[in-house]
Amino acid sequence: MPYERCADVSGELWNDLQELDPEEVTGRTGAVYKENLYHLPFLNRKMLISLPDRQVRVAGKPEAEPGFRACLTALQYLLHVDVSTLGPPISALELPGGATFFRGHHGLPAKPLETRFGEDKAGFRAAGERLGGEARAAGDAALALPVFPGLLVEVILWEADAEFPAQVSFTVPANLDKFWHLDAVWGLLSLVGQELITAADAGA
């Protein structure tokens, strides 16, 4: 069975986070810590990450289930990322080892976005706006999405035409590989794609 819920995230990640000094975590990320909760902005909403009960909730929507991938990526962000040392946007393929890693099973998760938005750049832009993204001047349409504080992912869309199929590419901050293995970067990009499609469907 695929992992789907926050409860499916490995307990080892929670153990590791509990061992860290919250002041150190908040000092290198954009999270706030108070009353045993990390308050972590995530796209157009805020995650509340509880160490005592090992749960992730959405502020204002306690019944909402963020999903496995969002919870996993949030914990990885709190555990490892230092936003002060992230660099300018580069192609995910430019990360060390990226051109080799992002193939086959770990190919960049562009196809679902190309299928959904390949002839709908207006819907692409609207979905990005719902998630708190900003337009960028690239491709036929491009978005910079603030997944977490200081961690921007850009998604660039070229619409299909009579000669070429639709194409989507991604940028991530340079140096992200210093904190995450490439499979975690792949998970981040998959999460962004999932969020864009969900936002588009919700606004349809």
What is the tens place of the pLDDT at every residue in 14-58?
999 999 999 999 999 999 999 889 999 999 999 999 999 999 999
Question: Measured in Å, how far apart are the chain's first and last C-alpha atoms?
Answer: 30
Listed in sequence order, the residues at least 6 apart from 202 whose beta carbon sits closer than 8 Å to its beta carbon are: 130
- Cα gap 119→86, rounded to integer Å: 33
**Given this model, what pLDDT does residue 86 score?**
97
> What 8-state DSSP symbol labels residue 47?
E
- Cα gap 117→96, rounded to integer Å: 29
Count of CB atoms within 10 A of residue 184's CB? Answer: 17
- Cα gap 141→160, rounded to integer Å: 12
pLDDT band for position 3 (cuts 50, 70, 90): confident
pLDDT at 1 over 60: no
pLDDT at 171 over 60: yes
Domain boundaries, the chain: 6-80, 85-203
pLDDT at 2 over 80: no
pLDDT at 139 over 80: yes
**Given this model, what pLDDT does residue 42 score?**
97
Average pLDDT over residues 167-177: 97
SS3 58: strand
Q: What is the pLDDT of residues 76-133, one digit of tens each?
A: 999 999 999 999 999 999 999 999 999 988 999 999 999 999 999 999 999 999 999 9
Average pLDDT over residues 150-155: 98
Listed in sequence order, the residues at least 6 apart from 34 whose beta carbon sits closer than 8 Å to its beta carbon are: none
Which tokens sit at 174?
């340079």
**Given this model, what pLDDT does residue 204 score?**
62
